[in-house]
Structure 1
Amino acid sequence: MDHYLEVFVKVVEKGNFSKAAEDLHMTQPAVSQYIKVLEESVGARLLERSNKFVRLNKAGEIVFHHAKEILALYSNMQYLIDDLTNKASGPIAIGASYTFGEYILPHIIARLQAKYPLITPTIQIHNTKEIIDLVQTHQLDIGIVEGQINEKIPNVEIVSEDKMVIVASPLHPLLKEQSKRKISELGKETWILREKGSGTREAAEHLFQHFNFTPKKIMEFGSTQVIKESVEAGLGISLLSQWAIKKELMYGFLEIVDVEGLPFKRNFSILTSSPYQTKALQQFIETLRDYLGD
């Protein structure tokens, strides 16, 4: 049955039978027969067909969602069996929220590849909520997320603490005096923040709640890099991870505003889709721990 699901998923992803047949090295009639058998086995039509394309109906959406999860589980089972007798090798599907994925993960992957060249990682970067969803539906082997995980989900572990600071352009008036600032002094400033659902935005909201403080103006951007450029240009201030601003601090593009009660601390956590880990995944987690501990 797994092969029927594989053919079905490929047809949906490619949007027609001929492209799916080409990718699967099958004839188009064979692909059509596989879909027919699958539809008969589930007792429902799954695809709406035309001369140019196919698309999912309601039943098809249900089967497609679960088919991807079933195929991921089957693939992981096979890797685990193969892994019992082999060296650390093979694919790892890694997901990370933006701060970790953009500023920390590349260095971990470089260290991993230097030591274990047969491991082949693939990376997805999304906000924290999306990474959690992808791990829970077995589309990722491991996710690394920032902030508080509110859901009661298995296989979660805190691996590091992240320090977050308020940054501004070196020419910003907040930096003209050397004394510590109170958070209440920043109420009139423009705060440039990530979108809701991101770990960095969640940290900012927790900061505001902790100090019973509400900025009068917030600008929202979907990229940490854009936020840094905007702060450097003098558009406003932001709360960012120290991991994300290392280069900017080194070259003097940004400066930390000295505020009472900061840095604000949050956690980096890992979550895995299964309690069973391949050797490749074990070595990735070990490399991650070593890097964060340096």
Structure 2
Amino acid sequence: MSSEPSDVVSLLSHRVPDLGALELLLAVARHGSLGRAAREVGITQPAASSRIRSMERQLGVALVDRSPRGSRLTDAGALVTDWARRIVEAAEAFDAGVQALRGRRDSRLRVAASMTIAEYLLPGWLIALRAERPDTAVSLLAGNSTVVAERLLGGEADLGFVEGLAVPEGLDGAVIAHDRLAVVASPAHPWARRGRALDPAELAATPLVLRERGSGTRQVLDAALAGYGGLAQPLLELASTTAVKAAAVSGAGPAVLSELAVAEELASRRLVAVPVAGVLLRRDLRAVWPTGHRPTGPARDLLSLTRSGG
């Protein structure tokens, strides 16, 4: 019965010298001196002597004859050196190939992000990433949280950002920030002039300008108002935060949007925030990636920047 691959590796690791020892042997062959070989590989002469003796014990043959005039390979040592050269050359080719793969991986970063994060947070993070990795080309796909999950699971993105209530199935994630949803209306709307907070049941029963199903904003609002009869049929259902905001500013009807998205409009009084009593419209913003595939390279660096406030 043949050995399993892991068994073969285990046997070879005990029977074949490590690369450092083989590189030392090649240096001895080049210089004819254990001292000069030790200096080339960056170790002391006693350490080099010890490594050669250890390799001879491992292989069961004498490799080097030592004398006051220098160090000379034995016949067996010359043969082992030829084999060692092939191993070291193969290792160098392996290293070059891995470096090329790493370089290709690090030359691009594909990000998928839900709309609020893509519009209001990612630009700052990507500017900071460019300062650290100027040679990395970044592509960004903006869509709702469902689309982000689909892109990650389909291998079309390296890192994602979502705004929903939980990590989508098949993904791992980490909370990177928090956000609140605000009920907003144009200054001309009756809600903008009311003297008391809005009742959750009234909010649920009123047709609103909303994001589409599958968006993080919609998920949070659906969950918050589920105990109040659920959301009424939307007045308008739009696929972008910008479109929802424009409709609310124009007076089409009240809307529910991230505080990040409406900060400028609230400051300029183009929109008015409408307080709501007894309901929590808060959500976590998350970085996400396929389960078991922790971000590496530029994706890891971008994740680090989101956590450091970069």
TM-score (norm 2): 0.61
1:138 to 149, 152, 155: 155
Q: Does 1:148 align with 2:135?
A: no
What amino acid is aligned across from residue 168 of structure 1 in structure 2? A
2:264 to 247, 267, 278: 247
2:222 to 192, 205, 220: 205
CA distance in 2, matches of 1:158, 1:109: 18
What amino acid is aligned across from residue 281 of structure 1 in structure 2? A
Unaligned stretches of 5+ residues in structure 2: 1-94
1:227 to 216, 228, 244: 244
What amino acid is aligned across from residue 222 of structure 1 in structure 2? A
Where 1:155 maps in the other structure, the secondary structure is: strand
1:65 corresponds in structure 2 to: none
Shift of 1:249: 1.4
Map Cα deviations across residues 181-217 of structure 1 (whole Å, 9 max, x no partner).
2123335643011111221222221122144444365
Distance 1:212 1:235, change over 3 A: same
CA distance in 2, matches of 1:149, 1:83: 37
What CA RMSD, in Å, does the superposition of the two structures yield over aligned residues? 2.7
1:275 corresponds in structure 2 to: 293
What amino acid is aligned across from residue 238 of structure 2 in structure 1? F
CA distance in 2, matches of 1:180, 1:272: 39
Distance 1:148 1:177, change over 3 A: closer
CA distance in 2, matches of 1:150, 1:269: 8
CA distance in 2, matches of 1:147, 1:276: 20
1:14 corresponds in structure 2 to: none
1:121 to 132, 135, 138: 138
Map Cα deviations across residues 29-81 of structure 1 (whole Å, 9 max, x no partner).
xxxxxxxxxxxxxxxxxxxxxxxxxxxxxxxxxxxxxxxxxxxxxxxxx9x94
Q: What number of residue pairs does the alignment pair up?
A: 213
CA distance in 2, matches of 1:174, 1:276: 46
CA distance in 1, matches of 2:293, 2:160: 13
1:57 corresponds in structure 2 to: none
What amino acid is aligned across from residue 308 of structure 2 in structure 1? D
TM-score (norm 1): 0.64
Q: Does 1:290 align with 2:301?
A: no
Unaligned stretches of 5+ residues in structure 1: 1-77
2:211 corresponds in structure 1 to: 194
Where 1:159 maps in the other structure, the secondary structure is: strand
Asked if the contact 1:188/1:217 (under 8 Å) is kept, the reply is no
Asked if the contact 1:165/1:262 (under 8 Å) is kept, the reply is no
Distance 1:126 1:200, change over 3 A: same
CA distance in 2, matches of 1:180, 1:276: 44
CA distance in 2, matches of 1:265, 1:218: 23
Asked if the contact 1:190/1:235 (under 8 Å) is kept, the reply is no
Distance 1:192 1:278, change over 3 A: same
Q: Does 1:108 align with 2:108?
A: no
Shift of 1:154: 4.0
CA distance in 2, matches of 1:275, 1:287: 19
Structure number with greater CO (CA < 8 Å, separation at least 6) is 1
CA distance in 2, matches of 1:133, 1:187: 30
Where 2:275 maps in the other structure, the secondary structure is: coil
2:276 corresponds in structure 1 to: 259
Distance 1:217 1:280, change over 3 A: closer
Where 1:236 maps in the other structure, the secondary structure is: coil
What amino acid is aligned across from residue 296 of structure 2 in structure 1? T
Distance 1:210 1:110, change over 3 A: farther
Where 1:93 maps in the other structure, the secondary structure is: strand
What amino acid is aligned across from residue 282 of structure 1 in structure 2? R
2:70 corresponds in structure 1 to: none
Distance 1:262 1:114, change over 3 A: farther
CA distance in 2, matches of 1:209, 1:162: 20
For structure 1, which segment, 275-284 or 236-245, has the greater mean C-alpha deviation from structure 2 after superposition?
Answer: 275-284
1:74 corresponds in structure 2 to: none
Q: Percent identity?
A: 24
Distance 1:202 1:252, change over 3 A: same
CA distance in 2, matches of 1:285, 1:143: 10
Distance 1:209 1:84, change over 3 A: same
Deviating runs (4+, > 6 A) in structure 1?
83-86
Distance 1:199 1:289, change over 3 A: same
